[in-house]
Amino acid sequence: METDAVRQGEGLAVLELGCGKKRYWSGSVTVDICESSNPDVVHDLNVYPYPFESNSFDIVSCVHVLEHLDDVIKTVEEIHRILKPGGRLLVEVPHFSSVHAYSDPTHKHFFASRSFDYFLEGTPVRQFDYSSARFSMLRREVITGRRRLVHRIIGPWLNRHIEFYEEHLAFIFPRHTLVFELTAIK
């Protein structure tokens, strides 16, 4: 998952949650429940609080992790706690239209482009106050693939009209992945 924050990740405190055996950044702190993946910290991400001090990390990465956890709201609140003010949360999850979202029996949640609106200031659903965690959105993108010409043409249109796509076209033209980049407001 490459973003400006990732490319400039040198010297930043980076936490990779549910990393498995794959590390995206050298020098990051990795957390996983499976000892066999050789993480820096063995921890069940469904158990709170996480074993880190508040305001510890510049970047927290969750690549195909949130869909496996019991409580997305509690997890995002815990991530907010350990992020520094202005820290970045990088998320990659399956899009709800993806066959992979439903075919994996370990998936507990499905995500749409507005799934994080509950944490964003100024969104209509923020009024329901489900969480005390506050973020601003830097990036929200349905990944369409970059290799084929049709995806390079459709991708930009789809992301400019993402709500229309999800309401009318998602199951006709399913996508696999959603990417979010959020900034912690503290």
Domains in the chain and their CATH numbers? Answer: 4-185 (3.40.50.150)
The encoded tokens of residue 18 equal 């549910």
- The pLDDT assigned to 7 comes to 42
**What pLDDT digit, counting tens, does each position of 5-61 carry?**
444 456 899 999 998 888 888 889 999 999 999 999 999 999 999 999 999 999 999
Question: Is the Cβ–Cβ distance between 162 and 140 less than 8 Å?
Answer: yes
Q: Tokens at residue 116, please?
A: 């994080």
In this structure, how many other beta carbons lie within 10 angstroms of the beta carbon of residue 137?
16
Structure pTM?
0.89
Coil, strand or helix at 112? coil
